[in-house]
């Protein structure tokens, strides 16, 4: 008799990881690959972080930590909000997590019951939908387009076909890079408060913003919001698997108990090293300058290759392209592009199952030379 597979495990794949596997398979044959599919900085962790990790290793005492994280790191994260946002955050409300992925899992488990409806913009980060499915929560995708800058708007919320128990926002957003203005963020926070909707704010791309504007945290407008952030993107520490959550007071103990049982704690070495990340401003500024150069290059060159319908990339390191004039099958288009040019990118169906057949995402988190060569190849391919 065949053993059953739990329905919770039957979630769709994270397609970008499938694309990366295909790209790596191509590379294994000796063919070159230009990686524009994965949102992973090509820069290493800051030098100060690596030095702190060496000191922690030499100290030799890296055991379990408290489930919510070591106190010095939680205090340093709280200081970061004071320095960058002018907001006082009690370090006791901060939970250090196993990446932002761990924070989302804890937030969804602590904040919602099975069957609760959680809204978010489409397109958006695919793991929202997939984690919600795995937890027997109901994803409610709110189609958003150029008119709304691919973001949640008051109009989308008012016209939602079902009552919501939760709402996820992201600013800057993946895959579009678009941002909410402070006024829009305040309006969403006020709406959620009045409607009894628990707000989850994905802020993992804070710090990666262009044009002089800074991303505002939802904490500025709501003490009830769940804030999720990460060391992966701005701090260039993807493999260190470290993130954090600012939990509202009513969820802090549930989050702690869940973390104790699911994870015990985030990696001690990563926690010790991450304290230094906040003092590496010059190096992080150089990384941001590199992203800005990549962004400008692709905004100039991709339209010449026919990718001329791009979302405004206010932040993060992505360009989201409408390719309806090129294909109606973004998955096959991306496979062919990889096969014929060596350029890997992600089909839009990962971010928007209903409409993503006509969109795709380019990541410009890599080296500028990689972006320039990718643009050259795509230009030749589309001629």
Q: pLDDT tens-digit profile of 364-375? A: 999 999 999 999
Peptide bond before residue 123 is cis, with ω within 30 degrees of 0: yes
Q: What is the CATH number of the domain that holds 320?
A: 3.40.640.10
Domain count, the chain: 2
Say whether both 150 and 16 belong to one domain: no
The reply to whether 340 falls in a domain is: yes
Rounded Cα gap, residues 106 and 110, in angstroms:
6
Q: Check residue 164 and give its pLDDT.
A: 98
Low-confidence ranges of the chain (pLDDT < 50): none
pLDDT number for residue 68: 98
Q: What share of the chain is helix, strand, coil (3-state, %, to 5)?
A: 50, 15, 40
Dump pLDDT digits (tens) for 277-331: 999 999 999 999 999 999 999 999 999 999 999 998 999 999 999 999 999 999 9
Does residue 1 fall inside a structural domain? no
Which pLDDT value is given to residue 88?
A: 97
- Kindly report the pTM of this predicted structure: 0.95
DSSP letter string, 332-374: HHHHHHHHHH-EE-EEGGGT-TTTGGGEEEEE--S-HHHHHHH
Same domain, 132 and 238: yes
What kind and span of H or E run contains 142? Answer: strand 138-143
Q: What is the residue whose two structure tokens read 């791009």?
A: 310
At 372 the pLDDT is 97
* Together in a domain, 38 and 166: no
pLDDT number for residue 383: 67
Say which residues have a Cβ less than 8 Å from residue 242's Cβ, sequence separation at least 6. Answer: 96, 97, 98, 99, 230, 231, 232, 266, 267, 270, 271, 274
Residue that finishes a domain, picked among 279, 304, 320: 279
């Amino acid at each position: 008799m065949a053993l059953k597979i739990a329905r919770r495990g039957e979630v769709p794949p994270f397609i970008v990881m499938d694309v990366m596997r295909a790209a790596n398979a191509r590379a294994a044959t000796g063919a070159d690959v230009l990686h524009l599919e994965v949102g992973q900085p090509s820069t290493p962790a800051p030098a100060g972080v690596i030095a702190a990790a060496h000191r922690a290793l030499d100290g030799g005492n890296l055991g379990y930590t408290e489930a919510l994280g070591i106190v010095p790191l939680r205090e340093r994260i709280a200081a970061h909000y004071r320095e960058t946002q002018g907001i006082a955050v009690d370090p006791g409300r901060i939970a250090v997590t196993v990446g932002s992925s761990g924070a989302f899992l804890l937030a969804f488990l602590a904040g919602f019951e099975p069957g609760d409806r959680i809204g978010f913009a489409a397109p958006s980060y695919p793991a929202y939908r997939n984690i919600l499915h795995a937890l027997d929560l109901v994803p409610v995708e709110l189609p958003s387009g150029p008119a709304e800058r691919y973001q949640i708007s008051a109009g989308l919320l008012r016209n939602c076909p079902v009552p919501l128990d939760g709402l996820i926002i992201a600013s800057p957003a993946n895959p579009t890079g678009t941002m909410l203005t402070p006024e829009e963020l305040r309006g969403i926070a006020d709406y959620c408060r009045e409607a009894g909707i628990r707000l989850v704010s994905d802020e993992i791309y804070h710090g990666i913003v262009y044009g002089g504007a800074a991303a505002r945290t939802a904490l500025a407008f709501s003490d009830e919001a769940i804030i999720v952030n990460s060391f992966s993107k701005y701090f260039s520490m993807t493999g260190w698997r470290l993130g954090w959550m600012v939990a509202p007071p009513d969820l802090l103990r549930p989050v702690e108990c869940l973390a104790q049982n699911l994870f015990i704690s985030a990696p001690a070495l990563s926690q010790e090293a991450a304290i230094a990340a906040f003092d590496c401003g010059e190096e992080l500024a150089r990384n941001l300058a590199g992203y800005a150069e990549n962004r400008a290059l692709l905004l100039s060159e991709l339209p010449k290759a026919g990718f001329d319908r791009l979302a405004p990339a206010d932040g993060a390191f992505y360009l989201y392209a409408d390719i309806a004039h090129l294909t109606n099958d973004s998955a096959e288009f991306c496979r062919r592009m990889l096969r014929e040019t060596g350029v890997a990118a992600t089909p839009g169906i990962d971010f928007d199952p209903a409409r993503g057949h006509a969109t795709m995402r380019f990541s410009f988190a890599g080296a500028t030379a990689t972006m320039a060569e990718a643009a050259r190849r795509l230009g030749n391919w589309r001629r």
